[in-house]
Amino acid sequence: MIFGLHPVMEAVEAGREISKVLLRRGLDGDGVRKLSATLRLHDIPVQMVPAEKLDRMTHKNHQGVIAFVSPVEYARLENLIPALFEQGVNPFIVICDGITDTRNIGAIARSAECAGAHALLLSTKGTAMITPDAVKTSAGALNHLAVCRTDNLKASMLFLRNSGLKIVAATEKAATAYYEADLSCPAALLLGAEDTGIEPEYLRIADLLVKIPLHGKISSLNVSAAAAVLLFEMARVNQ
C-alpha cells in the first residue's frame, strides 16, 4: 500500500501500476480534486470508503488516501483486441465478474494461459484485485497473460461483441451443454461468482449460454475448475 495524498500522486505520476485507490468519503480540497482528475486520466479505479475502513488498514497518517500497487501491468482492452486482429489472431478472452477470491483469479489465469487465452478481463466492481497471492496461485501465468480491467463491464462486453467476438456465458441456467455449443473463436468466456452466478443483465448480452453437466451429488464446481473445463474445450475446437 501507498498512503497519503502526495505519495499517491507521486506514484501515479511516476508510472507506478496502481490497482485501486481508496478515498475517504467527504474528502475535499484542491489536492484531492487534482488527484481525482489524475486517477481518471490514468483509468485507475477509485472507491469512496468511510474513514474507519482506512484507519483499520493503517495506523499511520493516511490523509484519507490509500493506494494499492499492482504486481502486474494492466493492458487496455480497446488496444489489445485490434492488435490481435491485426496480427491475424482470433482473440480468446476470459471475463471475470464478481469473483472475490484472489486464489480463484490466480487459478483461472493459470488455466487461461495454459489453454492459449490472450487476456483476462476483470470488472473493478466486486471482483478481486490482482495481488501477489493471485500471482503465486497462477504459477506465474499472470506475468505472461495480458490483464485488462473495466469499471463498466456491460460497455466492455458490448465492445467485444461489436469487435466480432461472441460472448460465451458459463451458467447452470443454460439449456445447452458446452460440448454441444459452437465455441470457436473469436470469443470471450464469461465467468461469474459461485454463489450468485452471472448478473442477468450480462446473460442477456451473451451470445451463448453453456453449462457443464454434473453427474454427482454436489450441485456445482469451483469456478476455477469450471473455467479449466471450458477453456480447454475452447482450445481444442480452435486448434
Q: Give tens-digit pLDDT for 18-51.
A: 888 999 998 889 989 999 999 998 888 898 999 9
| pLDDT tens sequence across 167-200 | 999 998 899 999 999 999 999 999 998 788 899 9
137 in the same domain as 58: no
37 in the same domain as 132: no
Question: What is the CATH number for 57?
Answer: 3.30.1330.30
> pTM of the prediction?
0.85
Q: What residue numbers bound the domain in which 51 lies?
A: 2-69
Q: In whole angstroms, what is the distance from residue 141 CA to residue 31 CA?
A: 38
185 in the same domain as 86: yes
51 in the same domain as 85: no
DSSP symbol at 169 = E
* Structural domains in the chain (count): 2
**Residue 116 and residue 93 in contact, taking contact as beta carbons nearer than 8 Å:** no
103 in the same domain as 19: no
104 in the same domain as 122: yes
Angle between helices 223-237 and 102-115 (to 10 degrees): 10
230 in the same domain as 133: yes
164 in the same domain as 98: yes
Whole-number mean pLDDT of the chain? 92
160 in the same domain as 95: yes
Single-letter residue type at 201: E
What is the pLDDT averaged over residues 156-165? 97
Sheet of strand 166-170, all strands in order from the earlier edge strand to the far edge? 146-150, 119-123, 92-96, 187-191, 166-170, 208-211, 176-177
Region of residue 126 (left: phi > 0; alpha: psi -120 to 50; beta: else): left
35 in the same domain as 121: no
| pLDDT tens sequence across 214-237 | 998 887 889 999 999 999 999 999
